């Protein structure tokens, strides 16, 4: 807890005080809490990546049950899953990088 001089009454007050106890002048810096919020764009990319992974898993289940395991269908499923995974990991890194 540090002390500073009140600009109005010139008495010492705490830097954590909301106002000067002598004259009532508000302390501009006291009581301010900074909250960092994760940007919505990172949350959207995260949701989109997870959705793509679930779609790819569901698509793979449909292909497996139908017995139509052509190389193109399997590749498409893996590609969609890989893209979703990269978006999910990338959004996590983006959230971390921008907001610690």
Tally of domains within the chain:
2
Residues 91 and 51 in one domain: yes
Among 36, 34, 39, smallest CA distance to 95 is for 39
Residues 1 and 30 in one domain: yes
What average pLDDT does the chain have? 82
Residue tagged 């983006």 (tokens)? 94
> Which residues in the chain show pLDDT less than 70?
1, 29-38, 64, 66-69, 99-100
| CA terminus-to-terminus distance, the chain | 27
How far is 7 from 11, CA to CA, in rounded Å?
8
DSSP state, residue 99: H
Residues 49 and 81 in one domain: yes
Residues 29 and 53 in one domain: no
How far is 82 from 35, CA to CA, in rounded Å?
34
Residues 44 and 73 in one domain: yes
Mind listing the pLDDT tens digit for each residue in 23-41?
888 877 665 666 666 678 8
Q: Which domain holds residue 78?
A: 40-99
């Amino acid at each position: 807890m540090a002390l500073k001089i009140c600009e109005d009454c010139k008495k010492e007050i705490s830097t954590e005080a909301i106002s000067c106890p002598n004259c009532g002048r508000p302390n501009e810096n006291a009581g301010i809490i900074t909250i960092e919020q994760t940007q919505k764009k990172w949350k959207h990319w995260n949701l989109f990546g997870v959705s793509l992974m679930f779609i790819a898993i569901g698509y793979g289940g449909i292909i497996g049950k139908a017995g139509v395991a052509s190389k193109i269908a399997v590749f498409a499923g893996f590609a969609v899953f890989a893209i979703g995974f990269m978006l999910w990991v990338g959004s996590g890194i983006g959230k971390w990088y921008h907001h610690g």
